[in-house]
Protein backbone atom coordinates (compact mmCIF):
# COMPACT_ATOMS: atom_id res chain seq x y z
CA UNK A 1 0.00 0.00 0.00
CA UNK A 2 2.92 2.33 0.72
CA UNK A 3 4.15 1.85 -2.81
CA UNK A 4 0.69 2.63 -4.21
CA UNK A 5 0.57 5.80 -2.10
CA UNK A 6 4.03 6.84 -3.26
CA UNK A 7 3.12 6.28 -6.87
CA UNK A 8 -0.36 7.80 -6.78
CA UNK A 9 0.63 10.90 -8.72
CA UNK A 10 2.59 8.89 -11.27
CA UNK A 11 -0.35 6.53 -11.73
CA UNK A 12 -2.69 9.49 -12.19
CA UNK A 13 -0.38 10.93 -14.83
CA UNK A 14 -0.04 7.57 -16.59
CA UNK A 15 -3.80 7.09 -16.70
CA UNK A 16 -4.67 10.64 -17.78
CA UNK A 17 -3.06 9.85 -21.14
CA UNK A 18 -3.31 6.07 -20.70
CA UNK A 19 0.37 5.48 -21.23
CA UNK A 20 1.83 2.13 -22.20
CA UNK A 21 5.10 0.72 -20.83
CA UNK A 22 7.20 2.38 -23.55
CA UNK A 23 6.22 5.77 -22.07
CA UNK A 24 5.68 4.78 -18.42
CA UNK A 25 9.30 3.68 -18.02
CA UNK A 26 10.33 7.33 -18.41
CA UNK A 27 8.12 8.67 -15.60
CA UNK A 28 9.91 10.64 -12.87
CA UNK A 29 9.96 8.17 -9.97
CA UNK A 30 11.23 8.13 -6.39
CA UNK A 31 14.76 6.75 -6.19
CA UNK A 32 13.66 3.57 -4.40
CA UNK A 33 11.16 2.67 -7.17
CA UNK A 34 12.24 1.05 -10.43
CA UNK A 35 10.34 1.60 -13.69
CA UNK A 36 9.38 -2.10 -13.65
CA UNK A 37 7.90 -1.79 -10.16
CA UNK A 38 6.00 1.32 -11.18
CA UNK A 39 4.61 -0.39 -14.27
CA UNK A 40 3.51 -3.41 -12.20
CA UNK A 41 1.70 -1.07 -9.80
CA UNK A 42 0.04 0.81 -12.66
CA UNK A 43 -1.11 -2.45 -14.24
CA UNK A 44 -2.42 -3.73 -10.91
CA UNK A 45 -4.36 -0.50 -10.29
CA UNK A 46 -5.98 -0.80 -13.70
CA UNK A 47 -6.99 -4.42 -13.06
CA UNK A 48 -8.40 -3.58 -9.62
CA UNK A 49 -10.67 -0.91 -11.11
CA UNK A 50 -12.70 -3.61 -12.81
CA UNK A 51 -12.33 -3.49 -16.59
CA UNK A 52 -15.55 -4.11 -18.53
CA UNK A 53 -15.59 -7.01 -20.99
CA UNK A 54 -16.48 -6.60 -24.67
CA UNK A 55 -18.03 -9.48 -26.69
CA UNK A 56 -14.93 -9.44 -28.93
CA UNK A 57 -12.44 -12.21 -28.12
CA UNK A 58 -8.92 -12.93 -29.34
CA UNK A 59 -7.77 -16.10 -31.11
CA UNK A 60 -7.52 -17.84 -27.72
CA UNK A 61 -11.10 -16.99 -26.82
CA UNK A 62 -10.19 -14.32 -24.21
CA UNK A 63 -12.37 -11.22 -24.21
CA UNK A 64 -11.15 -7.70 -24.83
CA UNK A 65 -11.89 -5.25 -22.02
CA UNK A 66 -11.86 -1.52 -21.36
CA UNK A 67 -12.44 0.95 -18.57
CA UNK A 68 -12.97 4.69 -18.51
CA UNK A 69 -10.30 6.69 -16.65
CA UNK A 70 -11.04 10.27 -15.62
CA UNK A 71 -9.60 11.56 -18.90
CA UNK A 72 -12.14 9.51 -20.86
CA UNK A 73 -15.06 10.67 -18.70
CA UNK A 74 -13.97 14.28 -19.15
CA UNK A 75 -13.73 13.80 -22.93
CA UNK A 76 -17.18 12.19 -23.10
CA UNK A 77 -18.68 15.09 -21.13
CA UNK A 78 -17.08 17.51 -23.58
CA UNK A 79 -18.47 15.56 -26.56
CA UNK A 80 -21.95 15.33 -25.07
CA UNK A 81 -21.93 19.10 -24.70
CA UNK A 82 -20.45 19.86 -28.11
CA UNK A 83 -21.38 17.14 -30.61
CA UNK A 84 -24.95 16.14 -29.78
CA UNK A 85 -26.26 19.70 -29.90
CA UNK A 86 -26.91 22.32 -32.53
CA UNK A 87 -23.66 24.30 -32.49
CA UNK A 88 -23.80 25.24 -36.17
CA UNK A 89 -27.54 25.69 -36.28
CA UNK A 90 -27.20 28.48 -33.71
CA UNK A 91 -24.20 30.12 -35.37
CA UNK A 92 -25.41 33.13 -37.42
CA UNK A 93 -22.25 33.22 -39.56
CA UNK A 94 -22.79 29.62 -40.72
CA UNK A 95 -26.26 29.42 -42.17
CA UNK A 96 -28.12 27.85 -45.07
CA UNK A 97 -25.93 26.91 -47.99
CA UNK A 98 -22.76 27.77 -46.03
CA UNK A 99 -23.59 24.94 -43.64
CA UNK A 100 -24.06 22.56 -46.56
CA UNK A 101 -20.79 23.73 -48.06
CA UNK A 102 -18.93 22.92 -44.86
CA UNK A 103 -20.52 19.47 -44.70
CA UNK A 104 -19.34 18.80 -48.26
CA UNK A 105 -15.84 19.99 -47.37
CA UNK A 106 -15.76 17.68 -44.35
CA UNK A 107 -16.94 14.70 -46.38
CA UNK A 108 -14.27 15.38 -49.00
CA UNK A 109 -11.59 15.67 -46.31
CA UNK A 110 -12.75 12.46 -44.60
CA UNK A 111 -12.83 10.56 -47.90
CA UNK A 112 -9.29 11.65 -48.75
CA UNK A 113 -7.59 11.12 -45.40
CA UNK A 114 -9.34 7.83 -44.60
CA UNK A 115 -8.09 6.50 -47.95
CA UNK A 116 -4.59 7.90 -47.38
CA UNK A 117 -4.43 6.00 -44.09
CA UNK A 118 -4.71 2.85 -46.21
CA UNK A 119 -2.08 3.87 -48.72
CA UNK A 120 -3.88 6.00 -51.30
CA UNK A 121 -0.91 7.84 -52.81
CA UNK A 122 -2.21 11.16 -54.06
CA UNK A 123 -2.15 14.73 -52.83
CA UNK A 124 -5.09 16.39 -51.13
CA UNK A 125 -5.13 19.08 -53.82
CA UNK A 126 -5.39 16.53 -56.64
CA UNK A 127 -8.06 14.54 -54.81
CA UNK A 128 -10.13 17.64 -54.01
CA UNK A 129 -9.89 18.79 -57.61
CA UNK A 130 -11.20 15.41 -58.78
CA UNK A 131 -14.17 15.39 -56.40
CA UNK A 132 -15.09 19.03 -56.98
CA UNK A 133 -14.75 18.89 -60.75
CA UNK A 134 -16.75 15.68 -61.04
CA UNK A 135 -14.16 13.98 -63.25
CA UNK A 136 -13.84 10.21 -63.04
CA UNK A 137 -10.96 8.74 -60.98
CA UNK A 138 -7.90 7.99 -63.09
CA UNK A 139 -5.98 5.53 -60.91
CA UNK A 140 -6.32 3.19 -57.94
CA UNK A 141 -5.72 5.88 -55.30
CA UNK A 142 -8.31 8.22 -56.79
CA UNK A 143 -10.80 5.33 -57.04
CA UNK A 144 -10.34 4.62 -53.31
CA UNK A 145 -11.04 8.26 -52.47
CA UNK A 146 -13.99 8.51 -54.87
CA UNK A 147 -15.56 5.36 -53.38
CA UNK A 148 -15.08 6.69 -49.87
CA UNK A 149 -16.75 9.95 -50.83
CA UNK A 150 -19.74 8.18 -52.38
CA UNK A 151 -20.10 5.89 -49.35
CA UNK A 152 -20.06 8.72 -46.81
CA UNK A 153 -22.56 10.79 -48.78
CA UNK A 154 -24.95 7.82 -48.94
CA UNK A 155 -24.53 6.69 -45.37
CA UNK A 156 -27.31 8.94 -44.09
CA UNK A 157 -29.80 6.93 -46.16
CA UNK A 158 -29.32 4.03 -43.73
CA UNK A 159 -29.53 5.74 -40.32
CA UNK A 160 -32.90 4.19 -39.48
CA UNK A 161 -31.70 0.65 -40.21
CA UNK A 162 -30.19 -1.69 -37.64
CA UNK A 163 -26.72 -2.98 -38.41
CA UNK A 164 -26.82 -6.30 -40.22
CA UNK A 165 -24.29 -8.41 -42.15
CA UNK A 166 -26.08 -7.32 -45.33
CA UNK A 167 -25.73 -3.60 -44.53
CA UNK A 168 -22.08 -4.08 -43.60
CA UNK A 169 -21.43 -5.85 -46.90
CA UNK A 170 -23.23 -3.05 -48.73
CA UNK A 171 -20.93 -0.45 -47.15
CA UNK A 172 -17.89 -2.53 -48.10
CA UNK A 173 -19.11 -2.99 -51.67
CA UNK A 174 -19.46 0.78 -52.10
CA UNK A 175 -16.04 1.42 -50.55
CA UNK A 176 -14.13 -1.27 -52.45
CA UNK A 177 -15.71 -1.15 -55.91
CA UNK A 178 -13.01 -1.32 -58.57
CA UNK A 179 -10.12 -1.32 -56.06
CA UNK A 180 -9.61 -5.03 -55.33
CA UNK A 181 -7.80 -7.71 -57.29
CA UNK A 182 -11.13 -9.24 -58.28
CA UNK A 183 -14.67 -7.79 -58.37
CA UNK A 184 -15.75 -11.04 -56.73
CA UNK A 185 -14.05 -9.88 -53.49
CA UNK A 186 -16.22 -6.76 -53.26
CA UNK A 187 -18.96 -6.92 -50.64
CA UNK A 188 -18.11 -10.35 -49.27
CA UNK A 189 -16.26 -11.68 -46.24
CA UNK A 190 -12.86 -13.24 -46.73
CA UNK A 191 -12.50 -17.00 -46.91
CA UNK A 192 -9.65 -19.47 -46.51
CA UNK A 193 -9.26 -19.43 -50.29
CA UNK A 194 -8.09 -15.80 -50.02
CA UNK A 195 -4.94 -16.97 -48.22
CA UNK A 196 -3.24 -15.43 -45.20
CA UNK A 197 -4.05 -11.80 -44.46
CA UNK A 198 -1.62 -9.61 -42.55
CA UNK A 199 -1.63 -5.95 -41.51
CA UNK A 200 1.70 -4.19 -42.07
CA UNK A 201 3.08 -0.85 -40.96
CA UNK A 202 4.92 1.61 -43.21
CA UNK A 203 8.16 -0.35 -42.67
CA UNK A 204 6.50 -3.61 -43.79
CA UNK A 205 6.54 -4.97 -40.23
CA UNK A 206 3.59 -7.21 -39.32
CA UNK A 207 1.31 -5.31 -36.93
CA UNK A 208 -1.61 -7.70 -36.78
CA UNK A 209 -2.58 -11.19 -37.87
CA UNK A 210 -6.40 -11.31 -38.04
CA UNK A 211 -8.44 -14.23 -36.71
CA UNK A 212 -9.20 -17.19 -38.96
CA UNK A 213 -11.92 -16.72 -41.61
CA UNK A 214 -13.79 -19.55 -39.85
CA UNK A 215 -14.63 -17.16 -36.99
CA UNK A 216 -15.91 -14.28 -39.12
CA UNK A 217 -19.56 -15.30 -39.47
CA UNK A 218 -20.13 -15.86 -35.74
CA UNK A 219 -18.14 -12.76 -34.76
CA UNK A 220 -20.08 -10.56 -37.22
CA UNK A 221 -23.35 -11.73 -35.65
CA UNK A 222 -22.04 -10.74 -32.19
CA UNK A 223 -20.78 -7.49 -33.71
CA UNK A 224 -24.21 -6.58 -35.09
CA UNK A 225 -25.92 -7.63 -31.86
CA UNK A 226 -23.56 -5.35 -29.89
CA UNK A 227 -24.25 -2.43 -32.27
CA UNK A 228 -28.04 -2.86 -32.09
CA UNK A 229 -28.37 -3.71 -28.41
CA UNK A 230 -30.92 -1.74 -26.44
CA UNK A 231 -29.48 -1.00 -23.04
CA UNK A 232 -30.66 -3.22 -20.24
CA UNK A 233 -28.73 -2.71 -17.03
CA UNK A 234 -25.15 -2.00 -18.11
CA UNK A 235 -24.90 1.24 -20.12
CA UNK A 236 -22.31 1.74 -22.85
CA UNK A 237 -21.92 5.36 -23.93
CA UNK A 238 -22.76 5.71 -27.67
CA UNK A 239 -19.39 7.29 -28.47
CA UNK A 240 -17.60 4.44 -26.69
CA UNK A 241 -19.77 1.89 -28.48
CA UNK A 242 -18.93 3.50 -31.83
CA UNK A 243 -15.20 3.41 -31.02
CA UNK A 244 -15.45 -0.26 -30.01
CA UNK A 245 -17.17 -1.03 -33.33
CA UNK A 246 -14.31 0.70 -35.15
CA UNK A 247 -11.71 -1.34 -33.27
CA UNK A 248 -13.66 -4.60 -33.53
CA UNK A 249 -14.07 -4.48 -37.30
CA UNK A 250 -10.43 -3.54 -37.81
CA UNK A 251 -9.30 -6.36 -35.49
CA UNK A 252 -11.52 -8.97 -37.12
CA UNK A 253 -10.48 -7.77 -40.59
CA UNK A 254 -13.41 -9.57 -42.25
CA UNK A 255 -12.63 -8.34 -45.78
CA UNK A 256 -9.71 -8.97 -48.10
CA UNK A 257 -9.06 -5.21 -48.22
CA UNK A 258 -10.80 -1.96 -47.28
CA UNK A 259 -11.27 -2.91 -43.61
CA UNK A 260 -9.98 0.38 -42.20
CA UNK A 261 -12.09 2.52 -44.52
CA UNK A 262 -15.17 0.44 -43.75
CA UNK A 263 -14.49 0.63 -39.99
CA UNK A 264 -14.15 4.42 -40.06
CA UNK A 265 -17.26 4.81 -42.24
CA UNK A 266 -19.15 2.56 -39.83
CA UNK A 267 -18.07 4.71 -36.87
CA UNK A 268 -19.34 7.79 -38.71
CA UNK A 269 -22.65 6.01 -39.46
CA UNK A 270 -23.12 4.86 -35.87
CA UNK A 271 -22.54 8.30 -34.31
CA UNK A 272 -24.98 9.96 -36.73
CA UNK A 273 -27.46 7.17 -36.02
CA UNK A 274 -27.01 7.93 -32.32
CA UNK A 275 -27.92 11.58 -33.04
CA UNK A 276 -24.45 13.04 -32.54
CA UNK A 277 -25.15 15.36 -35.44
CA UNK A 278 -22.00 17.42 -35.22
CA UNK A 279 -20.02 14.42 -36.53
CA UNK A 280 -21.42 15.36 -39.91
CA UNK A 281 -19.06 18.35 -39.78
CA UNK A 282 -15.99 16.50 -38.47
CA UNK A 283 -13.21 14.65 -40.25
CA UNK A 284 -11.77 12.31 -37.64
CA UNK A 285 -9.51 10.60 -40.18
CA UNK A 286 -7.77 13.92 -40.85
CA UNK A 287 -6.54 13.91 -37.24
CA UNK A 288 -5.66 10.22 -37.38
CA UNK A 289 -3.72 10.76 -40.59
CA UNK A 290 -1.58 13.41 -38.88
CA UNK A 291 -0.86 10.98 -36.04
CA UNK A 292 -0.84 7.78 -38.08
CA UNK A 293 1.88 6.12 -36.00
CA UNK A 294 -0.08 6.80 -32.79
CA UNK A 295 -3.22 5.42 -34.45
CA UNK A 296 -1.50 2.15 -35.34
CA UNK A 297 0.20 1.92 -31.93
CA UNK A 298 -3.18 2.36 -30.20
CA UNK A 299 -4.38 -0.74 -32.06
CA UNK A 300 -1.18 -2.61 -31.21
CA UNK A 301 -1.15 -1.73 -27.50
CA UNK A 302 -4.80 -2.76 -27.17
CA UNK A 303 -4.00 -6.16 -28.66
CA UNK A 304 -0.76 -6.98 -26.85
CA UNK A 305 -1.41 -5.49 -23.39
CA UNK A 306 -3.90 -8.00 -22.00
CA UNK A 307 -6.48 -7.08 -24.66
CA UNK A 308 -7.00 -3.65 -23.04
CA UNK A 309 -9.00 -1.62 -25.57
CA UNK A 310 -8.67 1.52 -23.43
CA UNK A 311 -5.54 2.53 -25.37
CA UNK A 312 -7.54 2.76 -28.58
CA UNK A 313 -10.49 4.44 -26.87
CA UNK A 314 -8.28 7.17 -25.39
CA UNK A 315 -6.55 7.86 -28.70
CA UNK A 316 -9.90 8.02 -30.50
CA UNK A 317 -11.38 10.42 -27.95
CA UNK A 318 -8.38 12.74 -28.29
CA UNK A 319 -8.75 12.68 -32.09
CA UNK A 320 -12.44 13.59 -31.86
CA UNK A 321 -11.73 16.46 -29.47
CA UNK A 322 -9.05 17.84 -31.81
CA UNK A 323 -11.53 17.67 -34.69
CA UNK A 324 -14.09 19.61 -32.62
CA UNK A 325 -11.41 22.18 -31.74
CA UNK A 326 -10.67 22.62 -35.45
CA UNK A 327 -14.35 23.22 -36.07
CA UNK A 328 -14.33 25.92 -33.40
CA UNK A 329 -11.39 27.58 -35.15
CA UNK A 330 -13.38 27.42 -38.39
CA UNK A 331 -16.32 29.11 -36.70
CA UNK A 332 -14.09 31.95 -35.50
CA UNK A 333 -12.77 32.37 -39.04
CA UNK A 334 -16.33 32.43 -40.40
CA UNK A 335 -17.27 35.06 -37.84
CA UNK A 336 -14.38 37.23 -39.06
CA UNK A 337 -15.37 36.59 -42.68
CA UNK A 338 -18.92 37.59 -41.84
CA UNK A 339 -17.68 40.88 -40.42
CA UNK A 340 -15.38 41.46 -43.41
CA UNK A 341 -18.15 40.63 -45.84
CA UNK A 342 -20.33 43.41 -44.42
CA UNK A 343 -17.98 46.04 -45.86
CA UNK A 344 -17.91 44.13 -49.16
CA UNK A 345 -21.69 43.94 -49.12
CA UNK A 346 -21.95 47.70 -48.68
CA UNK A 347 -19.81 48.24 -51.78
CA UNK A 348 -21.42 45.42 -53.79
CA UNK A 349 -24.86 44.76 -52.24
CA UNK A 350 -25.80 42.54 -55.18
CA UNK A 351 -23.28 39.82 -54.17
CA UNK A 352 -24.67 36.72 -52.49
CA UNK A 353 -22.85 34.73 -49.80
CA UNK A 354 -21.52 32.17 -52.33
CA UNK A 355 -19.94 34.91 -54.43
CA UNK A 356 -18.41 36.50 -51.34
CA UNK A 357 -16.97 33.13 -50.28
CA UNK A 358 -15.49 32.64 -53.75
CA UNK A 359 -13.90 36.10 -53.70
CA UNK A 360 -12.42 35.41 -50.25
CA UNK A 361 -10.91 32.19 -51.62
CA UNK A 362 -9.59 34.04 -54.67
CA UNK A 363 -7.91 36.60 -52.43
CA UNK A 364 -6.24 33.91 -50.33
CA UNK A 365 -5.14 31.87 -53.37
CA UNK A 366 -4.96 34.18 -56.42
CA UNK A 367 -4.04 31.34 -58.78
CA UNK A 368 -7.18 29.31 -58.05
CA UNK A 369 -9.25 28.33 -61.08
CA UNK A 370 -13.04 28.32 -60.74
CA UNK A 371 -15.53 26.57 -63.00
CA UNK A 372 -19.27 26.13 -62.99
CA UNK A 373 -18.80 22.52 -61.87
CA UNK A 374 -16.43 23.26 -58.97
CA UNK A 375 -18.74 26.03 -57.77
CA UNK A 376 -21.72 23.66 -57.95
CA UNK A 377 -19.96 21.00 -55.90
CA UNK A 378 -18.44 23.41 -53.39
CA UNK A 379 -21.77 25.04 -52.55
CA UNK A 380 -24.20 22.24 -53.38
CA UNK A 381 -26.16 24.27 -55.94
CA UNK A 382 -27.50 23.52 -59.42
CA UNK A 383 -25.68 24.38 -62.65
CA UNK A 384 -27.82 27.43 -63.44
CA UNK A 385 -27.09 28.97 -60.02
CA UNK A 386 -23.35 28.34 -60.32
CA UNK A 387 -23.32 29.81 -63.84
CA UNK A 388 -25.15 32.94 -62.70
CA UNK A 389 -22.77 33.40 -59.75
CA UNK A 390 -19.56 33.24 -61.81
CA UNK A 391 -20.82 35.21 -64.78
CA UNK A 392 -22.13 37.84 -62.39
CA UNK A 393 -18.67 38.23 -60.85
CA UNK A 394 -17.17 38.46 -64.33
CA UNK A 395 -19.65 41.18 -65.30
CA UNK A 396 -18.60 43.15 -62.20
CA UNK A 397 -14.97 42.97 -63.32
CA UNK A 398 -13.93 40.79 -60.38
CA UNK A 399 -13.16 37.58 -62.32
CA UNK A 400 -11.46 36.97 -65.65
CA UNK A 401 -13.08 34.49 -68.01
CA UNK A 402 -11.07 32.08 -70.19
CA UNK A 403 -12.27 29.41 -72.61
CA UNK A 404 -10.73 25.94 -72.45
CA UNK A 405 -12.27 23.75 -75.12
CA UNK A 406 -15.99 24.01 -74.61
CA UNK A 407 -15.72 25.03 -70.96
CA UNK A 408 -15.19 28.37 -69.23
CA UNK A 409 -12.54 28.82 -66.53
CA UNK A 410 -12.47 31.82 -64.21
CA UNK A 411 -9.58 33.41 -62.32
CA UNK A 412 -9.28 36.48 -60.11
CA UNK A 413 -8.46 39.75 -61.81
CA UNK A 414 -4.90 40.92 -60.96
CA UNK A 415 -6.12 43.92 -58.93
CA UNK A 416 -8.90 42.07 -57.07
CA UNK A 417 -7.76 43.22 -53.62
CA UNK A 418 -7.87 46.88 -54.71
CA UNK A 419 -11.34 46.51 -56.19
CA UNK A 420 -12.69 44.93 -53.00
CA UNK A 421 -11.38 47.67 -50.69
Per-residue burial over 217-245, b if 16 or more Cβ lie within 10 Å, else e, is eebbeebbebbeeeeeeeeeebbbbbbbb
Which segments within 60-185 are labelled E, that is strand? 63-66
Angle between helices 140-154 and 259-273 in degrees, nearest 10: 20
pLDDT at site 100: 66
* 8 A C-beta contact, residue 302 and residue 308: yes
Give the tens place of pLDDT for each residue, 258-289. Answer: 999 999 999 999 999 999 988 888 888 888 88
Angstrom CA distances, 294 to 11, 39, 216, 271, 283, stand at 21, 20, 27, 23, 17
How many Å apart are CA 4 and CA 228, to the nearest integer?
A: 40
Q: What pLDDT, on a 0 to 100 scale, did the predictor assign at position 286?
A: 86
CA dist 238 and 20 (Å) reads 25
Buried b (16+ CB within 10 A) or exposed e, 381-401: beeebbebbbebbeeeebbee
Could you please state the CATH topology (level 3) that the domain comprising 54-328 is classified under: Fic-like fold (1.10.3290)
Pick among 3.90.740.10, 1.20.1250.20, 1.10.10.10, 3.40.720.10: CATH of 348-420: 1.10.10.10
Given a cut of 50, the residues of the chain with pLDDT beneath it are: 1, 4, 88-94
| Annotated domain spans of the chain | 2-49, 54-328, 348-420
Amino acid sequence: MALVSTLSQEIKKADSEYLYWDKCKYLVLPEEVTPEEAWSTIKLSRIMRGPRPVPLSDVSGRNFTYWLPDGALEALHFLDQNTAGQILLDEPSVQGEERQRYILQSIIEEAITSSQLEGAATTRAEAKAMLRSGRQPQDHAERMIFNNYVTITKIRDHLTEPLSPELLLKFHRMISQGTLDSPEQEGRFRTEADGDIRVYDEQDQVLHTPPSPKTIESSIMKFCEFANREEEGEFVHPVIRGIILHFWLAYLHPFVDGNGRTARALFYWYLLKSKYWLFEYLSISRIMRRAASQYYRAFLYSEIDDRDMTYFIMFHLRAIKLAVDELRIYLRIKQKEARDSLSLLRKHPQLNHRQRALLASAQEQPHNIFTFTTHMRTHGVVYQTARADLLGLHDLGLLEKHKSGKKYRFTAVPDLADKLR
